[in-house]
Amino acid sequence: MEIEIFLRTIFFVFGALIGSFLNVCIVRLPKSESIVFPSSHCPQCQAPIYWYDNIPLISFLALKARCRSCQKGIPLHYFVVELLTAALFFFAYIVFGFSWVLVPAFVLIGLLVVASFVDLEWRIIPDEVSVGGMWVGFLLSMLIPALHKGPASEVLIVGSMVAFILGGTCMGLHLLKLFRFKIPVDGEDKKILLLGTAFLLLQWSLMTLAGVIPSCATSFAALADALQGAVIGACSLWVTGLIGEVLITKRVVTEFDFKGMVDDPLALMKALHGAGYVDAQGSLQSALRDVKTAAGLKLEPVFEDKRQEIFAMLQDVDQGGVMGWGDVKFLAMAGAFLGWQLALVAFFIAPFIGAVFGLIKVLRRQDTAIAYGPFLAVGIVASLFWGDMIIRWVMGMYGY
């Protein structure tokens, strides 16, 4: 019992330490800054933060949430991130025990925390988290196949079928969208098509190799499950967004869409409203559709250097924008860690939580755009810890 209490304490403290590093990632990644250099410093007065003022959880409380040098407030999210990460690491140890599975579980939790808090602040999910995390998920799945609990061949066969069907459906709907809006096929479309096809073929090859080379069967099966998870996770969100773009004709732009693009997103929104491109709620107006090139936008000189980016963003919103690509890549990353079954569990859990917050925003007459990443993260965490139990419960309802 004493050893168990000691280990739980160690993992809680370790989580808090990792949370302190995640705070650096949350602040710097959206600004494309290095997460290594410079060392920790106050963002207000730039004074260096010494080690005794950088102790997770304790320093925040000891300093009463204020910088020692300038006495300006320290945002609450620093404390929340450290406490949340510590609690999740603590719970992950309780669920998985002292095993190698903790390694990918901790990595996934760290990625979820960073993505959630960045998305809340910036309405983006950095590719370093989603795309980079996906490749890490593939590697860890192969090295630590216990994370996927040795998927049976029947599970992989079903996953292969679902991946092919969903992937084909997404590409078909996407091509119809390009045809409808007369959008040329660009490099990004080709990259998605090639990468998706490669994933589908590779997972099928790994399933075959798992039966041919018994000594590597477990690792090959786990990696095949990870590839299926990435494809099915991404496509489940992508197809939802494509369907939404057909059903939802009201296009809304918000100041968050321009955060990080211009210094004063609110001023830009007012300028767009004054020019008649959007109404007071951000809904796109017919005046915008009469603008064919970025040069045709009526903008104040202060936004001149960002004219092309502003026009591209407005065009993206006008052509759809129901589901952000960041969310699609985010669930693909989670699928690489969890496999296709648990990725679907996360996909179905997230909307229930997101719908509640979306309804609140509608009732408060705010814009209907929400940062969906945090709700996906909650679904992914629930799937990581209780996904197998949820699947058994659902299958039991149908007599399986």
pLDDT of residue 377: 96
Instruction: Kindly state whether residue 104 falls inside one of the protein's structural domains.
Output: no
CA distances from 155 to 35, 79, 143, 228, 275 (A): 40, 41, 20, 11, 55
d(CA 124, CA 324): 8
Instruction: Kindly state whether residue 369 falls inside one of the protein's structural domains.
Output: yes
pLDDT of residue 342: 96
Instruction: Kindly state whether residue 77 falls inside one of the protein's structural domains.
Output: yes
From 152, 153, 136, select the one nearest 144 (Cα to Cα): 136
Are 72 and 171 in a shared domain? no
CB 340 within 8 A of CB 152: no
d(CA 81, CA 228): 31
Instruction: Kindly state whether residue 168 falls inside one of the protein's structural domains.
Output: yes
Are 332 and 205 in a shared domain? yes
Please report which confidence band the pLDDT of residue 196 belongs to, taking 50, 70 and 90 as the band edges.
Answer: confident
CB 57 within 8 A of CB 15: no
Are 276 and 365 in a shared domain? no
d(CA 38, CA 28): 11
Are 146 and 229 in a shared domain? yes
Residues in the chain: 400
d(CA 205, CA 228): 12
Are 77 and 15 in a shared domain? yes
**Max Cα distance, the chain (Å):** 72
Mean pLDDT of 207-230: 92
Are 139 and 272 in a shared domain? no
Mean pLDDT of 17-30: 94
Are 218 and 346 in a shared domain? yes
From 214, 194, 206, select the one nearest 156 (Cα to Cα): 206
pTM, full prediction: 0.85
Instruction: Kindly state whether residue 103 falls inside one of the protein's structural domains.
Output: no
Domain boundary among 318, 336, 360: 318
Residue type, 370: I
Are 141 and 228 in a shared domain? yes
Are 33 and 152 in a shared domain? no
Are 133 and 229 in a shared domain? yes
pLDDT tens readout for residues 344-374: 999 999 988 776 666 555 455 555 557 788 9
Rounded to the nearest 10 degrees, what angle do helices 187-212 and 217-247 cross at?
150
Please report which confidence band the pLDDT of residue 166 belongs to, taking 50, 70 and 90 as the band edges.
Answer: very high
Q: What's the domain count of the chain?
A: 3
Range of the domain at 329: 127-248+322-397
Are 306 and 326 in a shared domain? no
Mean pLDDT of 3-12: 95
d(CA 370, CA 355): 10
Average pLDDT over the chain, rounded to an integer: 87
DSSP annotation of 74 reads: P
d(CA 141, CA 99): 14
pLDDT of residue 172: 86
pLDDT tens readout for residues 225-241: 999 999 999 999 998 88
Instruction: Kindly state whether residue 110 falls inside one of the protein's structural domains.
Output: no
Please report which confidence band the pLDDT of residue 31 belongs to, taking 50, 70 and 90 as the band edges.
Answer: confident
DSSP annotation of 246 reads: H
Are 276 and 314 in a shared domain? yes
CB 299 within 8 A of CB 293: no
Mean pLDDT of 308-329: 76
